[in-house]
A = this chain, B = another copy of it.
């Protein structure tokens, strides 16, 4: 049973505020929600204009009615704070609530998520309306969760934010200009900062080539969101301490790994682009994201706060998912640790930007559609899987995917500037574990390593304070740690480690010195092989040229002037092993090498079911999930007797899954 709900939440964004003049539609909504097995509605996300039509004139009656109506119909409410979009009158009277772009020009009123994060007036107003909402609904029986704002992201460059940034920098660098100048390496190009007032956000028409300043700004932007958020939730914590709080994250817009500790549970918005010919890859990407959000709170269930029951409207090409894919999207989330399946959106808007975004109910307004029926089917299934809710997931393997490293990699200039897709690199190493049915966490570099037998850290370019020592200790104590090229180049200020790479003590741990790094233009491929076996693998985009210093070479380059120099090494260090994969490899190498690491470390899949191409096996608690993401039918031989958790029937020993097929078994 879940911590906050004792069932799997099935619901989504509901915007009756767009339909107040169409009361028959709101009545129809109640009827259709029940027909669709919906048990929750997220409301109020962008309602400020209605709640406060004039400054300090409030109107909650409509919301009272909706809350009551939902409650009467057995639908619990996740109530949003409205800070994601502000009223027109507010921007007109207080233009400082709007963001200023890098140009220095203030935005006009429009769109959403465009508020200054620092404006005292805006923070005051947000705090006030949140307080009024909490006061009014603190005892409302429908209220089950707070949803803070919406998809926090991006930043503002106004003078208020500049001042906040200056203070942030001053604090971060201990009020010490000397420390700051060292961090910024300001001797380069004589950019010595002689007064804190000289600090300004990085911008294309100003300071745009100082990586440490860019990292400081990134950190400030996350911290100013957290500070903004803390201001939002203060009245809620005070008035409704019993109500959990979350906000819907996006994959990498902010450092959610830092944000996580401020939330009661993680939630995120999931929009896989099914049907464009690479469903297996999309499924793996989605799984990676689920696992990363789950890992942010140590394996705790999270919410899939948004997903589309059909198509999105903002992709270049919004392909219809095949029949069944909506249910698969839902069950995949649950299999990876989600306690909710929520949609954006319940009903399509009549006008505006997102009117063609998929919804449970379309412009026809009926339940007589393929999409509606599939959602209702999903709802029924989720009711059967009630016992899954609340189950945590723990892993023995972790991929380090670190949102500060993600940023640091974006900022530095050098080697192969065209290929910096850090997340793809992490996914490339995640995928073989995932395909083997091995549960894998996706963690920041400063997570607790103690639970893991194997940690894989692709392209770990930047190290946070203490990371070198942490990895050293982990390996000394028997852990297996694998790194790839350009590892441990720079510290948190993007200052290079001196004394040869990998730095921060890791040259010793890996037993190698990466003397040079080559970059290969698109279309130029090198080759390497492992000593065990004769297979040749391609070397693309980037590769370190190593000198071993105690490590054993497991394979070598076959091309270019570094032919016969080591391409993969292992170093026995303390009780553990440190592997170094010096080149940017392809999926084929990752699969083979993960296979080797799995054997070496003895980490295990969650079930003994033999993997089949295209079929993904997940275990959560007692429940085993199978999905077929391949185009054709797949047959799977089960390792023991199972019961179908949805139908209650016994499973055959060999089962078939068509495209988009799934099973949940116990």
Give the B-binding residues of A (Cβ under 8 A). 15, 17-21, 46-50, 53-54, 82, 85-89, 92, 101, 103-105, 107-112, 182-195, 197-198, 200, 202-203, 205-212, 276-277, 310-311, 313-320, 322-323, 348-357, 362-365, 369-371, 412-418, 493-501, 503, 513, 515-524, 545, 560-561
16 contacts between A and B (CB under 8 A): A18-B187, A18-B188, A21-B182, A49-B190, A49-B191, A50-B187, A86-B190, A87-B190, A88-B195, A189-B352, A277-B523, A314-B413, A351-B493, A353-B413, A363-B500, A363-B503
- Please tell me how many copies of the chain the complex holds: 3
Chain B's nearest CB lies how many Å from the CB of A14?
13
Q: A110-B205, A277-B523, A320-B561 are in contact. List 7 more A-B contacts (CB 8 A).
A: A15-B188, A85-B190, A105-B205, A316-B416, A319-B518, A350-B495, A363-B498
Chain B's nearest CB lies how many Å from the CB of A207?
3
The complex places the Cα of A545 from the Cα of B370 at a distance, in Å, of: 11
A89 touches B47 (CB 8 A): no
The complex places the Cα of A661 from the Cα of B105 at a distance, in Å, of: 57
B499 touches A187 (CB 8 A): no
Chain B's nearest CB lies how many Å from the CB of A399?
26
The complex places the Cα of A49 from the Cα of B315 at a distance, in Å, of: 48
A524 touches B276 (CB 8 A): yes
The complex places the Cα of A400 from the Cα of B516 at a distance, in Å, of: 41
The complex places the Cα of A109 from the Cα of B209 at a distance, in Å, of: 11
A319 touches B520 (CB 8 A): yes
A319 touches B17 (CB 8 A): no
User: Contacts A105-B205, A348-B496 known; A317 to B418 CB distance under 8 Å?
Assistant: yes
Chain B's nearest CB lies how many Å from the CB of A545?
8
Chain B residues lying within 8 Å of A316, measured Cβ to Cβ, are 416-418, 521
Q: Which of B101, B188, B497 meets A349, CB within 8 Å? A: B188
Chain B's nearest CB lies how many Å from the CB of A17?
5
A276 touches B188 (CB 8 A): no
Q: Which of B110, B195, B315 meets A92, CB within 8 Å? A: B195
**A contact face: mostly helix, strand, loop, or mixed:** loop
The complex places the Cα of A515 from the Cα of B363 at a distance, in Å, of: 9
The complex places the Cα of A187 from the Cα of B47 at a distance, in Å, of: 8
Chain B residue nearest to A517 (CB atoms) is: B320
Chain B's nearest CB lies how many Å from the CB of A512?
13
The complex places the Cα of A202 from the Cα of B110 at a distance, in Å, of: 9
Q: Which of B103, B351, B369, B370 meets A496, CB within 8 Å? A: B351
User: Contacts A316-B418, A499-B364 known; A185 to B351 CB distance under 8 Å?
Assistant: yes
Chain B residues lying within 8 Å of A105, measured Cβ to Cβ, are 103-104, 205
Instruction: Name the residue among A210, A211, A496, A517 with the largest chain B CB count within 10 angstroms.
Output: A496
Chain B residue nearest to A84 (CB atoms) is: B189
B88 touches A193 (CB 8 A): yes
Chain B residues lying within 8 Å of A545, measured Cβ to Cβ, are 320
Chain B residue nearest to A205 (CB atoms) is: B107
Chain B's nearest CB lies how many Å from the CB of A195?
7
B108 touches A206 (CB 8 A): yes
User: Contacts A190-B87, A211-B353, A414-B356 known; A365 to B206 CB distance under 8 Å?
Assistant: no
B356 touches A415 (CB 8 A): yes
Chain B residues lying within 8 Å of A193, measured Cβ to Cβ, are 88
Chain B residues lying within 8 Å of A107, measured Cβ to Cβ, are 205-206
Chain B residues lying within 8 Å of A211, measured Cβ to Cβ, are 351-353
Closest 8 CB pairs of A and B: A185-B351, A356-B414, A108-B206, A110-B207, A49-B190, A188-B352, A18-B187, A313-B414
Chain B residue nearest to A493 (CB atoms) is: B351
Chain B's nearest CB lies how many Å from the CB of A102?
10
B412 touches A318 (CB 8 A): no
The complex places the Cα of A69 from the Cα of B268 at a distance, in Å, of: 60
Chain B residues lying within 8 Å of A497, measured Cβ to Cβ, are 363
Chain B residues lying within 8 Å of A416, measured Cβ to Cβ, are 316-318
Chain B residues lying within 8 Å of A354, measured Cβ to Cβ, are 188, 413
The complex places the Cα of A184 from the Cα of B560 at a distance, in Å, of: 56
Chain B's nearest CB lies how many Å from the CB of A582?
14
Chain B's nearest CB lies how many Å from the CB of A158?
14
B318 touches A519 (CB 8 A): yes
The complex places the Cα of A92 from the Cα of B316 at a distance, in Å, of: 45
Chain B residues lying within 8 Å of A310, measured Cβ to Cβ, are 516
User: Contacts A205-B105, A323-B561 known; A210 to B418 CB distance under 8 Å?
Assistant: no
The complex places the Cα of A204 from the Cα of B269 at a distance, in Å, of: 25
The complex places the Cα of A315 from the Cα of B417 at a distance, in Å, of: 7
The complex places the Cα of A545 from the Cα of B320 at a distance, in Å, of: 11
A46 touches B524 (CB 8 A): no
Chain B residues lying within 8 Å of A108, measured Cβ to Cβ, are 200, 203, 205-207
The complex places the Cα of A131 from the Cα of B494 at a distance, in Å, of: 37
User: Contacts A189-B352, A417-B315 known; A197 to B516 CB distance under 8 Å?
Assistant: no
The complex places the Cα of A362 from the Cα of B105 at a distance, in Å, of: 42
Chain B residues lying within 8 Å of A48, measured Cβ to Cβ, are 190
Chain B residues lying within 8 Å of A86, measured Cβ to Cβ, are 190
Chain B residues lying within 8 Å of A212, measured Cβ to Cβ, are 351
Chain B's nearest CB lies how many Å from the CB of A577?
25
B190 touches A519 (CB 8 A): no
Chain B residue nearest to A182 (CB atoms) is: B21
Chain B residues lying within 8 Å of A110, measured Cβ to Cβ, are 191, 202-203, 205-210
A317 touches B417 (CB 8 A): yes
Q: Which of B88, B370, B493, B498 meets A194, CB within 8 Å? A: B88
The complex places the Cα of A513 from the Cα of B365 at a distance, in Å, of: 13
Chain B's nearest CB lies how many Å from the CB of A657?
17
The complex places the Cα of A368 from the Cα of B101 at a distance, in Å, of: 48
Chain B residue nearest to A193 (CB atoms) is: B88
A92 touches B197 (CB 8 A): yes
B414 touches A206 (CB 8 A): no
B414 touches A109 (CB 8 A): no
The complex places the Cα of A322 from the Cα of B518 at a distance, in Å, of: 10
Chain B residues lying within 8 Å of A187, measured Cβ to Cβ, are 15, 17-20, 49-50
The complex places the Cα of A613 from the Cα of B207 at a distance, in Å, of: 48
Q: Which of B183, B197, B519 meets A319, CB within 8 Å? A: B519
The complex places the Cα of A417 from the Cα of B356 at a distance, in Å, of: 11
The complex places the Cα of A54 from the Cα of B211 at a distance, in Å, of: 25
Chain B residue nearest to A414 (CB atoms) is: B356
